[in-house]
């Protein structure tokens, strides 16, 4: 018997669902007690339903669990959603209407005006938006993987200097498209300069993430100008981004680096289990950051920044590296749930 | 006995030198009669001196040639230089002083004010600069591989609309760093966001390439604002570039595409042997261009452009793909020599 | 109007079907006039039905063709089959019963006792088996891609020395599993030591290929002992095989090399359009053959052998490299059709 | 102040030297107090002398250490040698003559008749050979990386069934050739079927490893017949081997699997810090083991075996996967030192 909070995974057989299982296996607060997936999988033992692609083997206790249908008869009231966007919208709404708290990695509800689009280090106060929800439960979402790394790197700058414009070109890992995802025929000796819908997400999500929620409940999006170009490269994990920014207050290179080095936020203050000691790290090696070398910094939750230099067209340019399936997906979602727990947002289901 | 012009290769054992040999093997105008390399190789049979890394086997006739020292006692008066930048400056000057015409891929003389930095489709008139040279011979250079693809894609736009600002982020192939070049330890499951000196080259060379040479001999550099960020990716051949431009005259997407599709220049008019039928091709497939699929367009001499779309920060953004060792190095240099021949600049050595 | 033989492709939208189109585009004897595929594609323009993955662009004339259902109402009587094994057996039989000559790359009829399992350089006399067929048309098959490279390398040895036992371990390219085929998640920084059904094919097909067809029509399989182990590696094209052989007559290393170097067969004697000048080439460079360097030898139709050395357990061991989608699939099938044409087996449909 | 045994690293700047540092950083018994390298590095801070290529960052305490020359004036008497074979022979002898105990990963002394070629799970009794050494110190070596995985997988079989013949074909990771090692030009979209000296090592080392040391001190090599073929594939870490064996006693597939599953040896009995719980693990998934999925089993010290099947030419064939720089190099060497400590062989220097 344990005192941990029982949780379920919706969409447990996909690669993000598997990552949730991997990251929650020894979690100090949460314990997976139910796994949900599509009708095709429901009723099977999880080990029979899943094509396990994580690097560590599937723990036996999960392999033996029976997969459930994604209908609102779960015993655990806290659910992590790794559902595919083709079904997530409707299913998440059904669960939230039945009192479940959904912490989701799916994109469907990201722009609902009463749903927080959360990165705990960036906009923890947006959790307040939940109060506007008419669900008996709740829905909280996290941004797209490529947006998260970007927003984490921008937050310390935005706080200190204000941001006017952002230009970003990404080189994204194949794990971002799930399994099987990208064909090896396209990813050996090649780069694909297109990821469906990705540029649109990167151009719209930051405005909501950096929006201001007033005490009277009004919400104003940030008015950034953003251009994004997204490429898929032959890398397993780790999104690399070439970022250029125009700042409202022009400050020195050293001031920017200090802003990153000194950045710490609510997850660090609350000492959340998945919070990295350093949410952002600056590296001085001119060849860094690189996916293979830096993706596991802070157990995949630290975002690494490097090569800050002045720009002929913007104020500054620099490189950002984040682990797309940890900080950029399952790990970020878990950190959202931890923040909710720490701030009392789970009390009603406990 | 042949009527072809005898030519030599300086720096014949390196990977660019090998590419010269590959591309000149059946050339209709030029015939390789001498191979030069460092003292370490001089005196050896070429097949013993070289670590041949081209995909097609080394033709026997070149394998049997004795490698010469790079001193000005060559019989052929036209020399292609693939010399390393550490020695190219001095050696090329020595040869030019002794009456040799040097068509070079090395960077050393690129910014000499009397040396053309040539792309035949872009600035063929710059050949006139040679007349200012005090050499009894001559030196002509071509730009850096990543600059060439960019400049080719920009030329039709610059002609019709004028360019104010250029932002470019590259994903460059490993062949650009020669052999052995990048370690496989750095290029499997990884991207390296740094290439020494490359960003500086891309930020300075276009201004000279697009500069105006007046009839009175005065030369004015173009006044572009350029920012470049350069990355190395696990691709053998083919540099991909994400480009953003601000134009002087705002025109429609269709007008830009037409400018590329209708672009043709002096090498096409002169029907030069290495000139591609289409110097620039626009592709409408949203996943294109890609290195593996498009690098060999026009025998590696065509630059492919795709994904033209409006930009939130500049006027337009698009993708450029060019073969870095053909159009971007040896092939481009050979086209320079062909242009010189066609326009009479080789007459004095024939 | 042309005098070429009109041909159709069955299964034209898959990657082998596309390779047939690529290789037949400028064929001197055959002209593609019909393209067949599944019901899902039938009625569409080929360019709309296909996800073209070849490196050269799809020629417009094929893009405009309407795709037909694979039912026996084709006008062309010679059909190349790139059908999937799940449907090939039945469809090929239907066409053959209606008088069509099917030259197939599918595995379904390979072991029918009246169907030749053909490699033109290895067992051209097996074409005689057709005479036993009760079809008004005919079916001819070629072996599995990994078997073809092996059989080509063994043929000169078998002729001169006799073969007792064969051990082979393969490292096979991803194009062998079609498109999308292998996931990039499995093929970046990884090897997969399993290919479904492949080891069984390599262990059984050589016995039929090297079987003896007597003048009285009796057929005796060769009695090789074969063990095969098959691995998938991150290579686009080109299967590499580590081969060990026990020979009936023990001869010298030099005699084996001479056997390969002097090997020539009926396709070379008949000067068939797709026949390589050298069906097998021996390389003396100890690091060769390699997929990237040698797969395009003889336009992908030459098999390269290297590193012949004595073996502690067998007589000799060596490395074999062949292009799996050219010599090992579409190119091999086309050579089969060329041999049939040259030897009069197509006369009845002309 | 700590009670740990002070140790030094010879050849600390190379990639194996770095791996020693990584693996010894928090070792419960050993503490690195000195780092030795070539004259070029001596006198520098380690962080200035090294090009650190490990995935985790270099701990500061080692970065600050001054690199020493590799001459026998070290304070720590236990030294791990990652020296290059070009200098290891002489340097290791010098140190051993001066009373140092050298636990080496270099190949130079492997076949000295009084030097153990050790894998702690396979031949721990060979440590006795040290008593024959005339050094005031001692030298112990470990086998080549590809041999270690093979020998670990064979040990349980050899114990139970006896081995007559071994055939092995390897697919080896690039980290095996150090840094920079293999060029990316050779390892993108390619396999290199040659590793200098590797096949010879695999064919000779097992006979010594499985040799019998009698109580009277006589040593008899095992009389295996072995053939090895070695290939380099585009994988960062993890050697995959296709193995075939002929056994003295013919037993069932299940008996072999049980032998692996029940295998445990002296490091497990002694509970050595680096000893994996399971030295060998058998996997029943037909697509396993794979480098990416299994190399980190048991912190890189477990060898994974899979796909056991009957063989047409030998008795059985199966797949072996081991981490080449952990179990196959630095980790294996450290386990050797741990065994020596546990069995009293370090007493004289403590």
Q: Do B107 and B189 belong together in one domain?
A: no
Please state, for a pLDDT cut of 90, what percent of chain B lies above it: 93
Partner-chain residue, chosen from B181, B234, B235, that has the shortest CB–CB distance to D183: B181
Segment C93-113, tens digit of pLDDT: 999 999 999 999 999 999 999
Segment C173-193, tens digit of pLDDT: 999 999 999 999 999 999 999
**Cβ–Cβ contact C44 with D under 8 A:** no
Strand partners, D31: D6
Q: Determine the average pLDDT of the residues in B6-22.
A: 96
How distant is the alpha carbon of residue D336 from its chain centre?
9
Q: Do B129 and B202 belong together in one domain?
A: no
What does the alpha-carbon distance between residue B265 and residue B268 come to, in Å, rounded to a whole number? 6
What does the alpha-carbon distance between residue B225 and residue C222 come to, in Å, rounded to a whole number? 73
Instruction: Please tell me which chains touch C, using 3 or more CB pairs under 8 Å as the contact test.
Output: A, B, D
Please state, for a pLDDT cut of 70, what percent of chain C lies above it: 99
Residue A250: what pLDDT? 80
Contact D7, D24 (CB under 8 A): yes
Weakly modelled stretches of chain D, pLDDT under 50: 1
Residue C328: what pLDDT? 98
Q: Which H/E stretch holds residue C67?
A: strand C67-69
Compare all CA atoms of chain D with the CA of C309 and give the residue at the minimum distance.
D229
Q: Do B51 and B178 belong together in one domain?
A: no
**Cβ–Cβ contact D191 with C under 8 A:** yes
Q: Determine the average pLDDT of the residues in B16-31.
A: 97
Contact D313, C227 (CB under 8 A): yes
Q: Do D136 and D183 belong together in one domain?
A: no
Compare all CA atoms of chain C with the CA of B53 and give the residue at the minimum distance.
C293
Contact A6, A29 (CB under 8 A): no
Which of C109, C126, C230, C239 does the annotation list as catalytic? C239
Provide φ and ψ at C126, rounded to 5°: -65, -15
Residue B217: what pLDDT? 86
Q: Determine the average pLDDT of the residues in A142-169.
A: 96
Q: Determine the average pLDDT of the residues in C130-157.
A: 97
Residue C341, pLDDT above cutoff 70? yes
Q: Do A153 and A247 belong together in one domain?
A: yes
Partner-chain residue, chosen from A179, A189, A235, that has the shortest CB–CB distance to C183: A179
Ordered DSSP codes for B235-259:
-SS-EEEEEEEEESS---HHHHHHH
Strand order in the sheet with B163-172: B225-232, B163-172, B239-247, B316-322, B303-310, B280-283
Distance from CA of A293 to the nearest CA of D (A): 5
Average pLDDT, chain B: 96
Query: How far apart, in Å, are the Cα atoms of A230 and each of A197, A322, B65?
Result: 10, 15, 48
Average pLDDT, chain C: 96
Residue D54: what pLDDT? 87
Q: Which H/E stretch holds residue C303?
A: strand C303-310
Contact A231, A192 (CB under 8 A): yes
Query: How far apart, in Å, are the Cα atoms of B185 and each of A172, A307, B182?
Result: 19, 21, 8
Q: Determine the average pLDDT of the residues in C287-311.
A: 96
Angle at A172 between CA A166 and CA A173, to 5 degrees: 155
CATH at residue D187: 3.30.360.10
Residue A2, pLDDT above cutoff 70? no
The candidate with the shortest Cα–Cα distance to A150, out of A211, A98, A226, A75, is A226
What does the alpha-carbon distance between residue B301 and residue C15 come to, in Å, rounded to a whole number? 27
Strand partners, C221: none
Residue A217: what pLDDT? 86
Segment B164-184, tens digit of pLDDT: 999 999 999 999 999 999 999
What does the alpha-carbon distance between residue A187 and residue A195 come to, in Å, rounded to a whole number? 13
Q: Do B299 and B342 belong together in one domain?
A: no
CATH at residue D336: 3.40.50.720
Buried b (16+ CB within 10 A) or exposed e, B91-127: bbbebbeeebbbbbbbbbbbebeebbbbbbbbbbebb
Q: Do C108 and C156 belong together in one domain?
A: no
User: Which chain B residues are within 8 Å of D236, Cβ to Cβ?
Assistant: 185, 188-189
How distant is the alpha carbon of residue D98 from its chain centre?
25
Strand partners, C319: C242, C306
Q: Do A130 and A169 belong together in one domain?
A: no
Residue A54: what pLDDT? 87
C109 is catalytic: no
Number of domains comprising chain C:
2
Q: Do D200 and D293 belong together in one domain?
A: yes
Residue A57: what pLDDT? 80
What does the alpha-carbon distance between residue B211 and residue B217 come to, in Å, rounded to a whole number? 12
What does the alpha-carbon distance between residue B164 and residue D127 come to, in Å, rounded to a whole number? 75
pLDDT grade for C2, boundaries at 50, 70 and 90: low
DSSP count for chain A of H helices, then E strands? 11, 14
Contact B94, B310 (CB under 8 A): no
**Cβ–Cβ contact C218 with D under 8 A:** no
What single-letter DSSP state applies at residue D272? -
What does the alpha-carbon distance between residue B297 and residue B283 come to, in Å, rounded to a whole number? 12
Segment D97-114, tens digit of pLDDT: 999 999 999 999 999 999
Residue C131, pLDDT above cutoff 70? yes
Contact A341, A348 (CB under 8 A): no
D126 is catalytic: no
Residue B171: what pLDDT? 98
Strands A163-172 and A239-247: antiparallel
Contact B261, B160 (CB under 8 A): no
What does the alpha-carbon distance between residue B236 and residue B15 come to, in Å, rounded to a whole number? 13
Segment A178-192, tens digit of pLDDT: 999 999 999 999 999
Q: Which two tokens stand for residue C50?
A: 């296909």
What single-letter DSSP state applies at residue C59? P
Residue C322, pLDDT above cutoff 70? yes
What does the alpha-carbon distance between residue C241 and residue C149 come to, in Å, rounded to a whole number? 8
Segment C205-241, tens digit of pLDDT: 999 999 999 988 899 999 989 999 999 999 999 999 9
Q: Do B189 and B88 belong together in one domain?
A: no
Q: Determine the average pLDDT of the residues in B331-341.
A: 98
**Cβ–Cβ contact D188 with A under 8 A:** yes
What does the alpha-carbon distance between residue A20 and residue A37 come to, in Å, rounded to a whole number? 13
pLDDT grade for A31, boundaries at 50, 70 and 90: very high
Compare all CA atoms of chain C with the CA of B294 and give the residue at the minimum distance.
C55
Residue D2: what pLDDT? 67
Strand partners, A240: A171, A321
* Structural domain boundaries, residue A63: 5-144+330-349
Q: Which residue has the tokens 């310390």?
A: A156
Contact A320, A305 (CB under 8 A): yes
Residue B2, pLDDT above cutoff 70? no
Compare all CA atoms of chain B with the CA of D232 and give the residue at the minimum distance.
B184
- The dihedral region occupied by B148, where left means phi > 0, alpha psi between -120 and 50, and beta the remainder, is alpha
Q: Do D183 and B182 touch (CB under 8 A)?
A: yes
Residue B54, pLDDT above cutoff 90? no
Partner-chain residue, chosen from A55, A188, A236, that has the shortest CB–CB distance to D189: A188
**Cβ–Cβ contact D55 with B under 8 A:** no
Q: Do D128 and D231 belong together in one domain?
A: no
Q: Which H/E stretch holds residue C22?
A: helix C15-24
Q: Do C176 and C132 belong together in one domain?
A: no
**Cβ–Cβ contact D6 with B under 8 A:** no
């Amino acid at each position: 018997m344990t005192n941990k909070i029982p949780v379920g995974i919706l969409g447990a057989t996909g690669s993000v669902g598997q990552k949730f299982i991997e990251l929650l296996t020894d979690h100090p607060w949460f314990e997976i007690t139910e796994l949900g997936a599509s009708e095709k999988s429901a009723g099977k033992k999880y080990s029979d339903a899943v094509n396990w692609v994580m690097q560590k083997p599937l723990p036996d206790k999960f392999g033996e669990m029976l997969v459930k249908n994604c209908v609102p008869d779960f015993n655990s009231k806290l659910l992590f959603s790794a559902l595919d966007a083709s079904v997530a919208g409707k299913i998440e709404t059904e669960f939230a209407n039945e009192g479940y708290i959904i912490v989701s990695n799916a994109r469907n509800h990201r722009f609902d005006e009463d749903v927080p689009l959360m990165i705990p280090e960036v906009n923890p106060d947006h959790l307040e938006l939940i109060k506007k929800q008419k669900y008996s439960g709740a829905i909280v979402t996290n941004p797209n993987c490529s947006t998260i790394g970007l927003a984490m790197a921008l937050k310390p700058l935005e706080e200190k200097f204000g941001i006017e414009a952002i230009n970003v070109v990404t080189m994204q890992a194949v794990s971002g498209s799930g399994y099987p995802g990208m064909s090896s025929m396209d990813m050996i000796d090649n780069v694909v300069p297109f990821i469906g819908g990705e540029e649109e997400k990167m151009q719209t999500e930051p405005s909501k993430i950096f929006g201001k929620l007033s005490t009277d409940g009004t919400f104003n999006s940030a008015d950034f100008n953003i251009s994004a170009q997204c490429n898929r490269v032959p890398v397993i994990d780790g999104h690399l981004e070439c970022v250029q920014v125009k700042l409202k207050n022009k400050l020195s290179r050293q001031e920017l680096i200090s802003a990153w080095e000194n950045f710490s936020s609510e997850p660090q203050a609350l000492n959340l289990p998945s919070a990295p000691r350093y949410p952002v790290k600056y590296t001085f090696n001119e060849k860094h950051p690189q996916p293979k070398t830096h993706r596991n910094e802070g157990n995949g939750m630290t975002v690494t920044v490097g090569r800050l230099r002045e720009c002929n067209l913007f104020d500054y340019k620099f490189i950002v590296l984040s682990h797309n399936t940890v900080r950029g997906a399952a790990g970020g979602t878990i950190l959202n749930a931890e923040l909710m727990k720490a701030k009392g947002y789970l009390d009603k289901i406990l």
